Amino acid sequence: MTEYKPLQHLPEPAGYKAGDVLVLVGELFGRGYANGLIDEARRIGMTVIGTTVGRRDSDGSLRPLNTEECADAEALLGGTIINIPLEAGFDMESVDGVPSIAEQLKKARPDDFATINFIEGSVENARAAGTARFRSNLALLQSELLQRIPADSNILIAHSMAGGIPRARVFMPLLNRIFKGTGDKYLASGVFWDSPLGQLCNASFNEVTADTFRYLIEGTAALRERNSGSETRVCYSAYGYHGTGVLVNGEYRWQSYTPYVQGFAKMRLEDIAFEASANGIPATVYNCPEIQTNSSALFLGVEISLYPLLSAIRREAGAEIAAPLEARCQGLLKEGETVADLLERADCYLASPILDQIEDFSTWPQHNTRTQAELMLASSAQLMEMHADQKQLVCAELSKIVFLATGRLMLHYSWNPTAATVWLNHDIIGRLLADQRGAGIV
């Protein structure tokens, strides 16, 4: 089992310089974590090369971006994109005329989730086909990288992929019940997880969130070989999640969003980094704090543990840095509401004995219970209610700080990593802001 290893000290500045390259594997979205890595790479003069997951045509076939899509994606990235579709997963794969998993689930009803079956062998065959497609597209990516990146450049290959909810209508109502359901709508994540649909999700999350990191490391061996024997480095990073240390009741404490069923795949991702590191390949999984992005929007309540970042910043970086940020956050609240009350409510949830009974690092990830789900969702709603405008949230402000800060920490740590998995908790983010290495983030 992974040892809980929070990053304690700010990493020394990396040796990356102009001409060195950050390759982002996973598409960039406006408020996603990868923006932080890109921002830092650009700040220190590195070249950024992006990739795409591609798009599905109406007949289901996977294609590269068209000219307009590619121009939009490159504008967002601020760099060139290698236009090879790197979608991972297997839900749309049809093998030997057998309908794809998505096709087989077309008429499935949410109420039947515990009894749904798939054509024998079809999940395994689809998975093998999805893996083969992804690996062959990675081979094309590697050829492009070999051509575009000079042999004397250092390279950081950053994995940002996570996901894998199969594209079938049956999932949304079920996932909404698991992540957002209370009362009669509540669905126990453990019951779902043990069902055939839950196990399908398990296989799909493993493939998209974890195994793509293995394929990426294996599929870029020629880049490493080209650079071996020289002074240049080829390093790997990936975004993990395995709970976060945040201030609860005045002390830093590990806690986690529940039910993070993707956590099984995230632990597999950690194992892949361990294996690579043991083989001398610098690969690190950075377990990052809960923030609001396109991908986390489904997990209502995940944002509660982000509020105490304000307290951590005040503690680690001091009033001079914290006060203007707190004032900005105060400006987002309804009249009569205060940041102090906001923090108190978040703390009240995080310090609840109900969470204490459930959360446990050694048996993570935990499944939800009705009491916990209802407490979390009610707390989340109360905190949201304190805002003047539901579209301008304190957590959006804090999310940006987190993705920028983690980007800096990751990029510099990746130069000479001393662990295959590290936690970037609220304290180290606060400490970065206190240092000149964190200048300009807040």
Ligand X SMILES: NC(=O)c1ccc[n+]([C@@H]2O[C@H](COP(=O)([O-])OP(=O)(O)OC[C@H]3O[C@@H](n4cnc5c(N)ncnc54)[C@H](O)[C@@H]3O)[C@@H](O)[C@H]2O)c1
> Is 24 or 355 the residue whose CB approaches ligand X more closely?
24
Give the shortest CB-318-to-ligand X separation in angstroms: 26
Q: Is 164 left (phi over 0), alpha (psi -120 to 50) or beta?
A: left
> Is 239 or 349 the residue whose CB approaches ligand X more closely?
239
Q: Which range touches ligand X (CB under 6 A), out of 154-162, 218-226, 228-236, 380-388?
A: 154-162
Instruction: Mark 264-303 with x for binding to ligand X (rule: CB under 6 A) and - for no binding.
Output: ------------------------x-xx-xxxx-----x-
Q: Based on the number of CB atoms within 10 Å of its own CB, is 148 exposed (0-12), middle (13-18) or buried (19 or more)?
A: middle
Contact 179, 104 (CB under 8 A): no
> Is 122 or 137 the residue whose CB approaches ligand X more closely?
137
Q: Is 89 left (phi over 0), alpha (psi -120 to 50) or beta?
A: left
> Is 208 or 283 the residue whose CB approaches ligand X more closely?
208
Number of chain residues interacting with ligand X (CB under 6 A): 26
Type of residue numbered 152: D
Q: Based on the number of CB atoms within 10 Å of its own CB, is 141 exposed (0-12), middle (13-18) or buried (19 or more)?
A: buried
Q: What angle do CA 13, 416, 33 make, to 5 degrees?
A: 70
Instruction: Mark 177-216 with x for binding to ligand X (rule: CB under 6 A) and - for no binding.
Output: -------------------------------x--------
Site for ligand X in 40-99 (CB under 6 A): 53, 86-89
Report how far residue 18's alpha carbon sits from residue 45's, in angstroms, rounded to the nearest whole number.
4
Give the shortest CB-228-to-ligand X separation in angstroms: 28
Report how far residue 429's alpha carbon sits from residue 409's, in angstroms, rounded to the nearest whole number.
8
Q: What are the backbone dihedrals phi and psi of residue 55, each rounded to the nearest 5 degrees, phi first?
A: -135, 155
Instruction: Rule CB under 6 A: choose which of 81, 141, 155, 162 binds ligand X.
Output: 162
> Is 134 or 186 the residue whose CB approaches ligand X more closely?
134
End-to-end CA distance of the chain: 36
> Is 11 or 89 the residue whose CB approaches ligand X more closely?
89
Q: Determine, following the binding rule CB under 6 A, whether residue 32 of this chain makes contact with ligand X.
A: yes
- Binding-site ranges for ligand X (CB under 6 A): 26-27, 29, 32-33, 53, 86-89, 160-164, 208, 239, 241, 288, 290-291, 293-296, 302
